[in-house]
Amino acid sequence: MSTSERALSETLSLVFMAILVAVAALLLIASLTGVISHLLQKPALFSVQAIQYNTSAGNHIIGVFHQQGDAVNLNGTSQSGGTSIVSLFLVTAGGIPFTVNPAGPLQTDRWGAGDMLFIYSQDGGSSYVYSDVVPNGVSGLQTGTYTVRIIDSNVNVLLNALPVTIQ
């Protein structure tokens, strides 16, 4: 009784094993260097607090404090040191949403842990801007509860919706 043996040759099996080891090594290197997480486009992860900030002139504006987590770039700026791009929106006490734009060039290359942004109006409430420097000579915000929305622009996900009451 003869049976035919069908199997891979020893050389071909060694080639397949070498390819599998090379693929496993590439996947390990890609995961350790962050290439895989970059390809998956995960949203930024950070903790933020919104507070009423009192300027030296006694005006009330909104302070958004980046407590910890991923450093990010702010939309509309030339920042490049963060992991993702985020946009700021403000819903006024009257329920009107506004896009918050930069007031000018920022001092840092990213918005990271320990950094504060200041949201205020330069024209009495028809538009809102932010800066990473305490503004001088701006009028305060009207009293009421505002909501600061932070959206990850890369994956279009709402990261935070922070209420802040101006008194």
Return the residue matching tokens 């929106």: 89
| Cα(123)–Cα(98) distance, integer angstroms | 13
Share of residues in the chain with pLDDT > 90 (%):
68
Condensed to tens digits (0 to 9), the pLDDT of residues 60-71 reads: 999 999 999 999
Q: Which stretches of the chain are assigned E, i.e. beta strand?
A: 46-54, 60-69, 73-74, 85-91, 97-102, 116-120, 128-131, 144-152, 157-166
Give the global pTM.
0.75
Parent domain of 26: 10-39
- Model confidence band, residue 1 (pLDDT cutoffs 50, 70, 90): low
Whether the per-residue pLDDT at 83 is higher than 90: the answer is no
- CATH number of the domain that residue 144 is part of: 2.60.40
Q: How do residues 12-59 score in pLDDT, each as one tens digit?
A: 999 999 999 999 999 999 888 877 776 777 889 999 999 999 988 888
Does one domain contain both 80 and 127? yes
Give the pLDDT mean for 100-114: 93
CB of 130 closer than 8 Å to CB of 103: yes
Query: Is 90 a member of any domain?
Result: yes
Angle at 134 between CA 132 and CA 140, to 5 degrees: 120
Q: Are residues 48 and 26 in the same domain?
A: no
Decide if 34 is inside a domain.
Answer: yes
* Two structure tokens written together for 43: 């949203």
Q: Is residue 65 part of a domain?
A: yes
